[in-house]
Structure formats: structure tokens, C-alpha cells
A and B are shown apart, each in its own frame.
Chain A
Amino acid sequence: MSNSNFTRRGVLKTSAVAGAGLALPTIFTNRANAFTNEPTGSTVTLGFNVPQTGPYADEGADELRAYQLAVEHLNGEGDGGMINTFSSKTLDGTGILGKKVEYVTGDTQTKSDAARASARSMIEKDGAIMITGGSSSGVAVAVQALCQEAGVIFMAGLTHSNDTTGKDKKANGFRHFFNSYMSGAALAPVLANAYGNDRKAYHLTADYNWGYTTEEAVRNSTEALGWETVAAVKTPLTQTDFSSYIAPVLQSGADVLVLNHYGGNMVNSLTNAVQFGLRDKMVNDKNFEIVVPLYSRLMARGAGANVKGIYGSTNWHWSLSQGFTTPDGTEVAPDAASAAFVKSFGEKYGFPPSQAAHTCYCQTILYADAVNRAGSFNPCAVVEALEGFEFDGLGNGPTLYRAEDHQCFKDVLVVRGKENPQSEFDLLEVVEVTPVGQVTYDPSIFGGDLGSCNPGA
């Protein structure tokens, strides 16, 4: 195996091989198709890559339910769900472009390596034309980069970090979910309203990328309204007992604790904070408060009664389907799209969908519709159809898929833990629907380069 003998013949041979290698890519093409995994039969395969094991397995399971529901609706089974309320009317229950929708599933294990392995097997083995899902930004960024290289479309699932459509954005990747920046921008005014403009905040931040971007977003938006950040402490992701982090909070003179934690982290840190009696304390003559920038129903369930009265933001909440009154007396009418989705999800599974399920359902419908409007499965055509696409009727009101960074812009919900929950799913109440204008930002602030679409082959 060694090449240590540089004979004339050896060198000639090597260079011939190298030359042939340079010429090869034209011979060794992926397939004789116009783009990767062009569907030629009567079916089209989508890849649902969700965490089925690991810390976010619950969310993954809910995502998978939503995907199965979406596939049913696309194939004309069930009651059609949000397809009926969706503003674009190209979906008629005959699948996508007349091809029946089939799907393969995989387990991301919430690890980028496993997620990429799973996505690659979907692309290489099962011939998936689009990959979607995931419940962590690390995984979303990793799989998005893979899809860009492989030449398939990636429709991100639950990913909240700014990076996914910020510094790591890719032309083949799209995100319906909101991000840290929007959470901060939506939360800050509500917090200032509820707690005043002269608060001192103490941040506990999960020590990884999502934690950093969320802390930054909340800090910037609250400081702009007059808050002061006393300290920001990073906590290891694997931490389960936060008491040693909570104890110094009171000594710091802060009167608000911001928990930039997600999933099990948030459940534990919030429980610790409440058990320490933080919320009964008076600091600087003000009631001590706790804030959780990103809420999910599954987290609220884990934290139980501790979430009562605690503010946070969410991408969508099933209570939109019933209409409600915000604390300042604004009546919000029931949203027909959310109602349709909650109804068909509830009928199939027996409980209301989570925000992860909602965003995954929407992504599938949006992809299918984009293909229909483009008239082609070619990723470049799909990218063109989705860029700058304005739609309504998917539960968040009028929404724009911005062309510059492939991020959806829509209203953001500020929620609060409910004082008197009616059921184990009824834990959050919507406090305010922050209009999209307030959370829109300049796409250039996060850097990154979208590149151009890659159709593979």
C-alpha cells in the first residue's frame, strides 16, 4: 500500500489515474436524472427524520403523528385538516403532483451524526425527495447542510436557534418555526408591561448554541426597554439539579430570573427555582419573577403546577382553535385553521397537537403545495416556489416565507402558565399575539450565506 518508490513508471501511472479521476465525475453521475431522487413511478417518498429515542423523544413522537396525519390528508384520506383552510388551493387529495405520498421514518437520536446517517440512508436507499423533522437546532443545521450537498429539500422541524436560518442558512433548507430573536422581540414588551421597565435580570443559560442565541435575543430586547442584566450564568446541558445555580440568584440583587433552558433542563431548573421560594420573595420592593423564553406544552406538563403565571413564547398553541380573551380584554376569535387541525389531530390521536406537531404538519403541506405550484419536484423549482411565498390559513395568520433567509415570518404568541388548568393539555394561556411587524428583522444581521439551490445530479 505504500507509494514510496517514485519510479518513472509509477509516477506516470499515478498521474494517469489522477487525470482519470479528474475526468471521472462526468462518468460517475449519481443517476441519469435531472435531479437527486427524481420520482419516476406513481409514488413519491418523503423522509421523516425525528428523534424517537433520547431527550426529545416525546416531541419526536408528536412530530411523527403530525407527519402521518399530513400524509393522510395529502392522499385524500381523513377530513383534510388544514388543507381546507390553506390559502393556496393546489392540494386536492391526490397526493403531490398526482403521485401518492409514501414516507420513511428514521431516528435522529438528537445527535447530528445519527441524524445525518439516518437522512443519508433515506436519500441513498429509500430515494426520499425531501427530508423534514428534528427537534434540536444542532441536528437541524447538520441535516440542512447534508440536504444542501445531496440536492434535496430540507423542511426544518422544531428548531429555534437563530443559526438555522442565520449564519448556517442554506438554499435548500426552510424553517417554518420561529427563532430566538423573535421570542425576545415578542416577549420584551409584554414583560415590560407586566413587570415594569426597571427590572434587574439574572440569566441561567443552557451551555450550547441555542442557549447563547436565546440569551442574546432576550438580553438585547429587554435591555432596549430599560432592563438591566445583572449576570448571565451558563449551566451544563446535562445538569439535572440546579439548586447550586439558583442559590446565588437572590444574593445578586436581581428581581427577574430568565431560564434559557429547554426540555428537561427547563423542567428541572424551573422546579428548583419555584421550590426555593423565589416567586414569593420581594427584591428591590418588587415581586420576584421568572421567565422562560421558549415554552412547549410537553415542558409545561413536565413542570406541572410550577409553570403557573410564568411568561414565555410559543410558535403556536392549540387553544387558538377556541378563541380567548387576553388579560387586557382583547377578544381573539377562534382561528378556523387551528380548529381544523386540532379537530383532525384530536380525532385520530385523542389529544390536542403540540407546537412541534403543528410546525411539522405545516412544513409538509407547504412543501407539497410548493411542488404543485412549481409543477416539478426539482429542488430548485421548489425553492423558487417557496421563496417569498405568502400564505394564510395554517394557524398563524398571514405568513411570509422570506426569500433572503428562508425563514417564516408570522405572529408570535406570548403565553403564560395557566392558573386553573382544566386538563393536562390545558396548561398555557395566550397572553398576547405579537404582530409579525414587531418581530421582523433585517436578514443580514446574523451573517451567513444562503448560496444557491442544489438539485443534486
Chain B
Amino acid sequence: MLGLGKKDIALFMIVALLTLLAPFILNPFPEGSELAQFNAGYPDLMQRFVIFGIFAIGFNILFGLTGYLSFGHAAFLGVGSYAAIWMMKLLTMNVIPAIIMAVIVAGLFSVLVGYISLRRSGIYFAILTLAFAQMSYALAYSVLTPITGGETGLQPKVSDPRLFDGALAEGATPQANLFGLDMGASYEMAVGNWLFTFNAGYYVAAAVMLASFYVAIRIFRSPFGIMLRAVKSNQQRMNYTGLNSKPYTLAAFVISGMYAGLAGGLMVAMDTQVGPERMFWTASGEVVLMTILGGAGTLIGPVLGAGMIKYMENIVSKINSDILHTWFAFLPDGLEDVLVAMVYPFVGKGWHLTLGIVFMLVVIFLPGGLVEGGQRIMNLFRRKKRAGDDSTPAPKSHPAE
């Protein structure tokens, strides 16, 4: 079906189910309970999960398949975002032209960057891409202020031309929409003490994410994907057999650049604002972390990694000392203070520290990322079951996804 193998269909279905039911899955704790702090099922974060998922899936096509480590992917995300916001300012607040333009512009820009950077490989390639990204950042931050709005960035304004849109109602602000469906519109469902939010923007982004996930599976399984893997395993040998690997790497680079542009366009569609720090090198580093944390070269890994990092950034960073005090309030005063003092450095503004520790643990103990962790757990159960009815050792499962 759809040109996918049986395993891939299963994987795709699981991902589809997870994204569709995300509002339930991410809000496991009832409103008002102390654990509600850990709920992640609000529109902004759900949108970020899928958008950064797309970004990481695209990055993984380059890094996971060809092994080329780009340290400047945020530049494509940023360029896509700027393209999208200009479409919104000039043409229409409908997100379709914005997203399409974001992909096209990011694609063109990645052709340019890729053509130059791919002349080198390894660390030199990484440095070249990093240089391009920092250059784009500096341009957006100050040199091109008239186009990019500089540090302040760009937002749609009431006074923008918006050629295709009718005049706004008095006092209304321009809102991103899909043929009239406001991206910010949400339907809230209260079940007992639980509150589930179904956000229009999230489902639009999720649909795009599923589509790009599908395309990624097809690329992974195609002869083109095999060629890319060949580049990773031994590019020199490939060249000696008479194959020119450059078109393949450039194609992979442009595809992943377009994925980044798509993510950038969606970011604007969900939250109509662009700032240059989206292109800062830390943003490029973040997507590398996401991919490695989840499992480079696997299909689902980057999405998991993206989710993990965004969860840390948005949930853990909001735990302040007052919240800790309420958690430990049942303890005697002295003990409470000691516990709070011990935990506090790891939450709130210390979320980077927690993320760093998690990253180190994953890299040391699970070199294949979170996906490897999942596989190990699965294997554990499988082995036990098999051992029960059959003495033959379980066939070693391939670390495919």
C-alpha cells in the first residue's frame, strides 16, 4: 500500500495515530493537579513538536543517510520563515502560499550553499555550512534590516498590502488562516477534570508532518536512498567504481534544505513572527542534537529527539522554586529546603544542564539514540516470550528504525 513495505506501514500508522491523538497523550494529568505542570498538550508546544519533527526528519535525510554533518541548517529554516512572512505581508494571510514559497526559497538557497559547501567533506563541510549560517544570521540581524526587520524581526501589520485579502474588519488583526480556518482556533473538550485542546493549526502542521514523514520513508527505501547510504559507508570506493556521488549528495542537501524551509514556513504559519535568532548557530546545533538524541539514520528517531528537546525547553524551564516548594511541601521544613536546593539547579533556568546530562547519558549508553533504547526494551520482552515457548535464540532484529 502506498509503496511501503509492511513494517513501514506499521510504523507510519503508529506515527499517524500518535500525532492524531497527541492532545490526549500529551495531557495525561488532570487540570489543577500538581502534575499538570508536566502536561504538554497545549497548542504552541504541540505545534513545535511536529514542526521541529519535520526539521529533524529533513536534517536526518542529509546527516543520517549521507553522513554529511551540516552545522548550518537553521539558515534554511530562517530563510524559509522570512519568505513565508513576506508572502503573508504582501499576498495573503492564507498559509498555503507562505508555506510553498518558504520551501522554494529555502530550496534555492540550499542549492547555492550546497554547491559550494559540498566541495569538501567532513569537518570542512561542517565549518563551511556553519559559516554560511552565521553569515545569514548577521545579514538578517543588521545588514538587511530593511528586509528582515533586524533584531526586532517581522510581524504582519494591519497596514500591510495583502493584495489577495479583503479589508480587515475594524480593530481586527491579521491572523494566519487556511481558507478562513484560523490557525489559532481551538476546540476544547472537558472530560472530568481533564481538558483537551484540539487546535486547527496543530492539525494542519501534523498533516504536513505526516506527509513529509511519508516522503522520508520513500526516500529511505528508494534506490536513491541506497546511493546515499553508499556515500556514508565509503564515498571513495564509490567514486573509484566510476560513480559521481556529487549529484546525490547535492540532491540530499537540497531536499533537507527544503524540509527545513517547510518547517520555517510552518513556524510562521502557526506563529506569525520571524526573528533572526532563528538562524543563530545554536539553532543549527539544536537540530544536530535532536537527530543524535533520537537516533541518526533512523526514521522515527529525529522526531522523538525533537520532541524531547522541545519538551525540556518548554516544560522543565518553567518549573521555578515556588513550584518545587509546593511539591515538597509535605516534608519537614529543613528537609524541604534541602531537597529544593538540590533539585533547583536542574530545573527552571538550569534546564540546559538537565538536557546536557540526558544527552550525555544517551550518547554513552545508547549510541543509537532513544530509538535504540526502545529497541532494547522491546527485545527484552520478546526474548522472554520466545524463551518461554521455544529454545531457539530469537533472530537478531535489524536496527532499522
B360 within 8 A of A: no
Give the number of A-B contacts (CB < 8 Å): 153
B185 touches A24 (CB 8 A): yes
**Per-residue interface assignment for chain A, residues 175 to 212, with 1 indicating a CB less than 8 Å from any chain B CB and 0 otherwise:** 00000000000000000000000000000000111101
B44 touches A209 (CB 8 A): no
B170 touches A146 (CB 8 A): no
Write the nearest CB–CB distance from B318 to chain A, whole angstroms. 6
Stretch in B147-155, B222-230, B334-342, B387-395 touching the partner? B147-155
B200 touches A124 (CB 8 A): no
B324 within 8 A of A: no
A209 touches B178 (CB 8 A): no
B273 touches A112 (CB 8 A): yes
Contact partner of A452 (CB less than 8 A), chosen from B170, B175, B272, B280, is B170
Write the nearest CB–CB distance from B174 to chain A, whole angstroms. 9
A105 touches B197 (CB 8 A): no
A1 touches B211 (CB 8 A): yes
A104 within 8 A of B: yes
Q: In the docked arrangement, what's the CA distance between A21 and B185, Å? A: 11
B173 touches A118 (CB 8 A): no
Known A1-B211, A116-B271: A168·B186 in contact at CB below 8 Å: no
**Per-residue interface assignment for chain A, residues 123 to 154, with 1 indicating a CB less than 8 Å from any chain B CB and 0 otherwise:** 01100000000001110011001101110000
**Per-residue interface assignment for chain B, residues 104 to 143, with 1 indicating a CB less than 8 Å from any chain A CB and 0 otherwise:** 0000000000000000000000000000000000100110
A112 touches B275 (CB 8 A): yes
Q: How large is the interface on B (under 10, 10 to 19, 20 to 34, 35 or more residues)?
A: 35 or more
Write the nearest CB–CB distance from A345 to chain B, whole angstroms. 18
**Per-residue interface assignment for chain B, residues 313 to 329, with 1 indicating a CB less than 8 Å from any chain A CB and 0 otherwise:** 11001101000000000
Given contacts A107-B351, A149-B184, 13 further A-B contacts (CB under 8 A): A18-B179, A18-B180, A22-B181, A24-B180, A24-B200, A117-B45, A118-B318, A142-B152, A161-B152, A234-B142, A236-B142, A449-B159, A451-B173
Known A117-B314, A237-B141: A208·B184 in contact at CB below 8 Å: no
Contact partner of B275 (CB less than 8 A), chosen from A21, A142, A237, is A142
**Which residues of A from 330 to 373 have beta carbons under 8 Å from B?**
none
B42 touches A121 (CB 8 A): yes
Q: In the docked arrangement, what's the CA distance between A75 and B199, Å? A: 35
Q: In the docked arrangement, what's the CA distance between A138 and B145, Å? A: 13
Known A18-B179, A24-B185, A124-B43: A207·B141 in contact at CB below 8 Å: yes
Q: Which 5 A-B pairs have the closest CB atoms?
A: A112-B275, A452-B171, A52-B349, A22-B180, A120-B44
**Minimum CB distance partner of B175 in chain A:** A149
Contact partner of A137 (CB less than 8 A), chosen from B152, B170, B318, is B152
Q: In the docked arrangement, what's the CA distance between A186 and B210, Å? A: 57
Write the nearest CB–CB distance from A44 to chain B, whole angstroms. 15
Q: In the docked arrangement, what's the CA distance between A138 and B348, Å? A: 23
Contact partner of B277 (CB less than 8 A), chosen from A27, A113, A141, is A113
Q: In the docked arrangement, what's the CA distance between A22 and B181, Å? A: 6
A305 within 8 A of B: no
**Minimum CB distance partner of A64 in chain B:** B320
Q: In the docked arrangement, what's the CA distance between A207 and B142, Å? A: 6
Write the nearest CB–CB distance from A154 to chain B, whole angstroms. 13
Q: In the docked arrangement, what's the CA distance between A208 and B139, Å? A: 11
B214 within 8 A of A: yes
**Per-residue interface assignment for chain B, residues 155 to 189, with 1 indicating a CB less than 8 Å from any chain A CB and 0 otherwise:** 10111000000000011010100111110111110
A89 within 8 A of B: no
Q: In the docked arrangement, what's the CA distance between A452 and B188, Å? A: 27
Q: What A residues does B271 contact at CB under 8 A?
A: 116-117, 120, 146
A21 touches B150 (CB 8 A): no
B275 touches A107 (CB 8 A): no
Q: In the docked arrangement, what's the CA distance between A105 and B351, Å? A: 14
A163 touches B180 (CB 8 A): no
A-B contact pairs, 12 of them (CB 8 A): A22-B180, A57-B349, A104-B318, A111-B277, A112-B273, A138-B151, A141-B155, A142-B275, A150-B184, A207-B142, A212-B145, A237-B151
B39 touches A125 (CB 8 A): yes
Q: What A residues does B150 contact at CB under 8 A?
A: 138, 208-209
**Which residues of B from 177 to 216 have beta carbons under 8 Å from A?**
178-182, 184-188, 197, 200, 207, 210-211, 214
